[in-house]
């Protein structure tokens, strides 16, 4: 994650590096959209700046600092091109799972600085226990960045012995590390929102995965760093929210640009003269600033507790889940309002508001940002024990 900027070794932060990528992301929007995956030049810059690696230890190119910095990365990238932010966010999760590998396998799988990762936490595969490991088969949907990935982390139902053969009580689930040459990509990603993420289906048939390449959330964590102690679910949710805030920022910037460029002196009132536009921009900027502050504050508290090696309280976790959901939904509502006040211009793909509008609705379809997480947070606030498995993981 270090980038030498001068002979005095000035180190750039990940969010500063993200800003450097924005111009490339913007200039390649049409390629990303038409190809349904990130343009090669964007991938190259992300690799060079190691933004696919943020969740890894420093010796593998990771960040290992305050996770608020990663939120800034997602927001910055999403304000330019949402699909870029989405793939970086997905790589963060795929690299987060590396904490459950022993150090030898961690270094083996994540050693290549140019590798890209994809994952699916949907338990859509089956891993049959055999000598030395598992025989894995299955088909997973919505695997973002699958055409770009060198390694996949895929959740499976483990079968064999007395274990259940279906999902439900007593079912055993594990994440399996599988290299790209064992994976078949099935072209299914024909969508509008997040089109550039290439979230196709993938399929694996009778592929051996050794024991040490299969992990779960109870696996031992050898590298007990502050970053590896962060809660996976809550941090992942905050990242999704940060992307939504980035989309709102993009909509604000686009509408402002339209107002400044579309001025016709002496003719009918311009876009900037509309009271609805003026009000929407003022409201949007306030909402963006307020929810960004709340989200960063909640995540920063979790980070400070992790640095001190303290356990997280349910209320502290609830603050992150609630801030994430509220930031994302408020951003979506405000983007819709901007879409409306921009008038017929919003219909045209040459104005980015059209794309932002469909992207933010796609972002908020993710399970990590759904309303039930507010119910879980509310349980913590009234002294009840939240019941969702991922609330504390």
Q: What is the mean pLDDT of residues 44-55?
A: 97
Clarify whether residues 355 and 268 are in a common domain: yes
| CB-facing half-sphere around the CA of 26: CA atoms within 13 A | 14
Clarify whether residues 197 and 331 are in a common domain: no
Residue 250 lies in a domain: yes
Clarify whether residues 236 and 381 are in a common domain: yes
Clarify whether residues 312 and 380 are in a common domain: yes
Task: Give the residue among 322, 346, 54, 82 at the shortest CA–CA distance from 197.
Answer: 82
Buried b (16+ CB within 10 A) or exposed e, 363-391: bbebebbeeebbebbebbeeeeebeeebb
Residue 365 confidence (pLDDT) above 60: yes
Clarify whether residues 21 and 49 are in a common domain: yes
Residue 211 lies in a domain: yes
Residue whose entry in the numeric block shows the structure tokens 């905050």: 238
Clarify whether residues 249 and 355 are in a common domain: yes
- CATH code for the domain of 195: 2.40.110.10
Question: Residue 340 is part of which domain span?
Answer: 230-391
Clarify whether residues 387 and 238 are in a common domain: yes
Q: For residues 237 and 323, is the Cβ–Cβ distance under 8 A?
A: no
Write down the pLDDT at residue 263.
82
Q: For residues 214 and 134, is the Cβ–Cβ distance under 8 A?
A: yes
Write down the pLDDT at residue 5.
42
- CATH code for the domain of 305: 1.20.140.10
Predicted model pTM: 0.95
- CATH code for the domain of 43: 1.10.540.10
Q: What is the mean pLDDT of residues 32-48?
A: 97
Percent of all residues in the chain with a pLDDT value above 90, rounded to a whole number = 94
Residue 11 confidence (pLDDT) above 80: no
Clarify whether residues 263 and 342 are in a common domain: yes
Write down the pLDDT at residue 265.
77
Write the CA distances from 109 to 98, 102, 152, 330, integer angstroms: 9, 11, 10, 39
Residue 33 lies in a domain: yes
How far is 388 from 373, CA to CA, in rounded Å? 8
Report the sign of the C-alpha dihedral through residues 239, 244, 248, 253, in that order.
Answer: positive
Q: What mean pLDDT is reported for the chain?
A: 95
With cut-offs at 50, 70 and 90, classify the pLDDT of residue 1: low
Our CA dihedral for 101, 105, 109, 111, rounded to 10 degrees, sits at: 110
Which tokens go with 243?
A: 């992307």
């Amino acid at each position: 994650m270090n980038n030498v900027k001068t002979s005095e070794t000035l180190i750039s932060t990940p969010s500063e590096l993200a800003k450097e990528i924005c111009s490339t992301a913007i200039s390649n929007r049409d390629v990303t959209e038409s190809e349904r995956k990130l343009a090669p030049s964007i991938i190259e810059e992300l690799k060079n700046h190691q933004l696919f690696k943020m969740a890894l230890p420093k010796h593998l190119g990771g960040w290992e600092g305050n996770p608020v910095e990663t939120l800034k990365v997602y927001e910055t990238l999403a304000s330019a091109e949402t699909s870029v932010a989405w793939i970086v966010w997905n790589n963060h999760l795929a690299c987060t799972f590396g904490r459950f590998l022993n150090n030898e396998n961690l270094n083996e799988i994540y050693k290549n600085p140019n590798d890209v990762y994809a994952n699916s936490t949907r338990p859509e595969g089956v891993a049959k226990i055999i000598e030395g490991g598992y025989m894995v088969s299955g088909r997973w949907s919505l695997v973002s960045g699958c055409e770009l990935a060198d390694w996949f982390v895929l959740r499976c139902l483990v079968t064999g012995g007395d274990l259940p053969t279906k999902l439900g009580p007593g079912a055993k689930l594990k994440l399996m590390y599988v290299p790209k040459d064992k994976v078949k990509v099935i072209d299914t990603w024909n969508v509008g929102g997040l089109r550039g993420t290439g979230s196709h289906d993938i399929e694996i048939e009778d592929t051996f995965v050794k024991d040490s390449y299969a992990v779960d959330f109870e696996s031992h964590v050898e590298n007990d760093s502050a970053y590896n102690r962060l809660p996976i679910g809550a941090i992942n949710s905050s990242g999704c929210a940060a992307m939504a805030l980035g989309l709102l920022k993009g909509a604000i910037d686009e509408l402002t640009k339209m107002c400044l460029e579309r001025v016709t002196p002496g003719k009918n009132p311009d876009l900037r003269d509309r009271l609805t536009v003026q009000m929407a921009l003022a409201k949007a900027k306030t909402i963006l600033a307020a929810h960004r502050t709340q989200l960063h504050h909640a995540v920063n508290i979790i980070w400070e507790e992790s640095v001190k090696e303290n356990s997280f309280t349910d209320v502290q976790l609830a603050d992150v889940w609630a801030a994430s959901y509220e930031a994302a939904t408020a951003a979506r509502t405000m983007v819709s309002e901007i879409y409306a006040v921009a008038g017929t211009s919003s219909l045209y793909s040459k104005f980015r508001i059209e794309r932002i509008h469909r992207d933010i609705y796609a972002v908020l379809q993710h399970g990590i940002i759904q309303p039930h997480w507010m119910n879980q947070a509310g349980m913590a606030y009234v002294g009840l024990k939240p019941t969702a498995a991922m609330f504390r993981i």
